């Protein structure tokens, strides 16, 4: 690491130095840029957290005298997102290698850019995997050698700054360890920037990238960096085809994630305070009358969109409010979308050991497919069948065939067929009181849907009688 002035040493955790970096490694130059930037911004180190991934670059947090999180390979930005969203007041720096940021952590990288969360991501781009011994990175320039591309890489590399820009980072700059003035300047701008900021630094790995590609000593590698790049502004050198632009590519002020989230919390808290006035229903008297069988098993079946799940929930809610023990289960998964589905309730006067319906005492069939698929009824049980469910099916002896859909349409909409069926079931069996069902409707439905469903419940009660 280059020598530093006394004033900068207070930012370093010198007890861990010399660290793991090789002599001549560019990572120390980058770190020098970081501490210079922190010094220029007068950041208090106890309010700074540096989060690193795994790799030579990922070790940086150890050498800064701030709090440090040295995390897992590729995930530093995700850890940092957790820290920053929980403590938006902290200054959070994220140090990553190019493999860390753009290979294993590529997904976290683009999503952090998109979220525009106020983190400063510093990508130490040495074109290789230093820590593991010089393998190909997603940034290895085409044709360059690594231990896994001994004949030269045939893959086009990522342009990390371009990627950051496209993914929505609101500050993006690229520089090199050769550009010792721009380096701390961009990092300082990035830390001060209120949003997701990326500084990509081309840095030398003399040990692997340099040696495998015969680039010479660290000083010669700085010349390589200089020749590889051209500054977009001021244009001090002439651009050669194939050179990488360096400079500040973007600095926009866009809404920042933690600030938007704080606004959202205020809105949510205000809405919750406004809704606080709504009172609960009066408790209902216990329903002491015996169940036809105890436990009593009910199955609602139909097709996705018929509100079968809600019918079960309403029954369980109503019966529970009258002091019954209740369990509701539902068939779930792909088949719940469109195909046949079922929703089952067990009612009992005592604790229910097994939560699934084994042999239903009451079955409601709302669709032909459900009628075919969910068979089985306890002897002495009842089955209520929507008349259209009989299409292509023969009703069994004792089936109660009712015009549930027609009744729902007359009550104001086919949508309410579930509540018509529930009303019919309750009217026939007396499992729950009408008051309990009405209260359950009020608890479970949006106010705008209430009138339709209240009419449907009354109509269902009527057809069932």
Ligand X SMILES: Cc1ncc(C[n+]2csc(CCOP(=O)(O)OP(=O)(O)O)c2C)c(N)n1
**Which of 8, 22, 401, 445 forms a contact with ligand SF4 (CB under 6 A)?**
22
**Which of 30, 61, 100, 431 forms a contact with ligand X (CB under 6 A)?**
100
Q: Indicate the residue among 130 and 360 with the shorter CB distance to ligand SF4.
A: 130
CA 157 to centroid of chain Cα atoms:
29
Query: Locate tokens 């002491």: which residue?
Result: 288
402 makes contact with ligand X (CB under 6 A): no
11 makes contact with ligand SF4 (CB under 6 A): no
Q: Indicate the residue among 333 and 380 with the shorter CB distance to other proteins.
A: 333
Nearest one of 173, 136, 170, 131 to 151, comparing CA atoms:
136
Q: Indicate the residue among 73 and 383 with the shorter CB distance to ligand X.
A: 73
Stretch 148-207 residues interacting with ligand SF4 (CB under 6 A): 205-207
Cα four-point dihedral sign 144, 148, 151, 157: negative
Radius of gyration from C-alpha coordinates of the chain = 34
Stretch 19-58 residues interacting with ligand X (CB under 6 A): 54-57
Stretch 292-321 residues interacting with other proteins (CB under 8 A): 313, 316-317, 320-321
Q: What are the structure tokens assigned to 136, written together? A: 């190909």
**For residues 404 and 389, what is the distance between their CA atoms, to the nearest angstrom?**
10
- Helices 27-40, 182-192: axis angle to 10 degrees equals 50
**Which of 29, 71, 176, 367 forms a contact with other proteins (CB under 8 A)?**
71
Shortest Cβ distance from residue 168 to ligand SF4 (Å)?
29
**Which of 25, 51, 121, 137 forms a contact with other proteins (CB under 8 A)?**
51
342 makes contact with other proteins (CB under 8 A): no
Nearest one of 280, 365, 379, 381 to 321, comparing CA atoms:
280
Question: 168 φ, ψ to 5°?
Answer: 110, 10
For residue 277, is it left (φ>0), alpha (ψ between -120 and 50) or beta?
alpha
224 makes contact with ligand SF4 (CB under 6 A): no
Q: What contacts 343, CB < 8 A, 6 or more positions away? A: 299, 300, 301, 308, 309, 310, 311, 312, 313, 328, 329, 330, 331
130 makes contact with ligand X (CB under 6 A): yes
**Which of 35, 197, 222, 327 forms a contact with other proteins (CB under 8 A)?**
327
Q: What contacts 285, CB < 8 A, 6 or more positions away? A: 322
Q: Indicate the residue among 161 and 170 with the shorter CB distance to ligand X.
A: 161
Q: What are the structure tokens assigned to 170, written together? A: 């609101």
**For residues 454 and 438, what is the distance between their CA atoms, to the nearest angstrom?**
7
312 makes contact with ligand SF4 (CB under 6 A): no
Shortest Cβ distance from residue 155 to ligand SF4 (Å)?
20
E strand residue ranges, 263-304? 296-303
**DSSP designation for 216:** -
Q: What are the structure tokens assigned to 233, written together? A: 């502004």
Stretch that binds ligand X, among 98-106, 249-257, 267-275, 394-402 (CB under 6 A): 98-106
Within 10 Å of residue 72's Cβ, how many Cβ atoms?
Answer: 14
Shortest Cβ distance from residue 13 to other proteins (Å)?
8
In the list ligand SF4, other proteins, ligand X, none, the entry touching 321 (Cβ below 5 to 8 angstroms by class) is other proteins
Which residues of the shown chain bind other proteins in the complex (CB under 8 A)? Answer: 13, 15-16, 45-47, 49, 51, 61-62, 65-72, 75, 78-87, 89-90, 107-108, 111, 261, 264-265, 267-269, 271-272, 313, 316-317, 320-321, 323-330, 332-334, 352-356, 358
Which residues of the shown chain bind ligand SF4 in the complex (CB under 6 A)? Answer: 21-22, 25, 27, 56, 126, 130-131, 205-208
Which residues of the shown chain bind ligand X in the complex (CB under 6 A)? Answer: 54-57, 73, 97-100, 124, 126, 128-132, 137
């Amino acid at each position: 690491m280059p020598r530093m002035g006394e004033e900068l040493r207070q930012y370093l955790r010198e007890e861990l130095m010399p660290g793991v970096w090789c002599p001549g490694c560019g990572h120390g130059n980058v770190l020098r840029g970081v501490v210079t930037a922190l010094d220029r911004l007068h950041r208090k180190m106890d309010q700074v957290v540096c989060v690193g991934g795994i790799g030579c670059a990922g070790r940086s947090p150890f050498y800064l005298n701030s709090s440090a999180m040295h995390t897992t390979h590729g995930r530093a930005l995700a850890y940092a997102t957790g820290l920053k969203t929980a403590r938006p007041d902290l200054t959070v720096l994220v140090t990553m290698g190019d493999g860390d940021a753009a290979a294993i952590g590529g997904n976290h990288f683009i999503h952090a850019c998109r979220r525009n969360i106020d983190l400063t991501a510093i990508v130490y781009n040495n074109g290789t995997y230093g820590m593991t011994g010089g393998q190909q990175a997603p940034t290895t320039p085409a044709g360059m050698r690594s231990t896994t591309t001994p004949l030269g890489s045939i893959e086009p590399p990522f342009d990390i700054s371009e990627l950051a820009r496209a993914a929505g980072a609101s500050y993006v700059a690229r520089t090199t360890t050769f550009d010792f003035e721009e380096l701390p300047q961009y990092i300082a701008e990035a830390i001060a920037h209120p949003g997701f900021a990326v500084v990509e630094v081309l840095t030398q790995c003399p040990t692997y990238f340099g040696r495998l590609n015969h680039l010479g000593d660290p000083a010669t590698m700085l010349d390589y960096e200089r020749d590889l790049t051209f500054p977009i502004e001021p244009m001090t050198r002439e651009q050669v085809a194939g050179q990488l632009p360096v400079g500040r590519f973007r600095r926009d002020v866009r809404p920042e994630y933690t600030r938007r989230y704080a606004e959202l919390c205020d809105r949510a808290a205000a809405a919750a305070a406004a809704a606080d006035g709504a009172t609960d229903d009066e408790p209902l008297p216990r329903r002491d009358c015996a169940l036809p069988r105890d436990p009593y098993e009910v199955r609602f079946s139909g097709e996705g969109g018929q509100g079968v799940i809600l019918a079960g929930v309403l029954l369980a809610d109503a019966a529970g409010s009258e002091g019954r023990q209740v369990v509701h289960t539902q068939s779930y998964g792909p088949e719940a979308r469109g195909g046949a589905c079922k929703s089952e309730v067990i009612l009992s006067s005592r604790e229910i050991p097994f939560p699934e319906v084994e042999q239903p005492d009451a079955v409601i069939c709302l669709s032909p497919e459900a009628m075919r698929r969910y068979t089985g009824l306890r002897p002495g049980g009842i089955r209520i069948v929507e008349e259209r469910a009989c299409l292509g099916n023969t009703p069994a002896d004792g089936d109660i065939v009712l015009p549930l859909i027609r009744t729902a349409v007359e009550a104001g909409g086919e949508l309410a067929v579930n509540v018509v069926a529930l009303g019919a079931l309750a009217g026939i069996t007396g499992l729950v009181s009408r008051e309990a069902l009405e209260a359950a409707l009020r608890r479970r439905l949006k106010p705008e849907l209430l009138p339709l469903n209240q009419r449907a419940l009354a109509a269902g009660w009527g057809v069932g009688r």
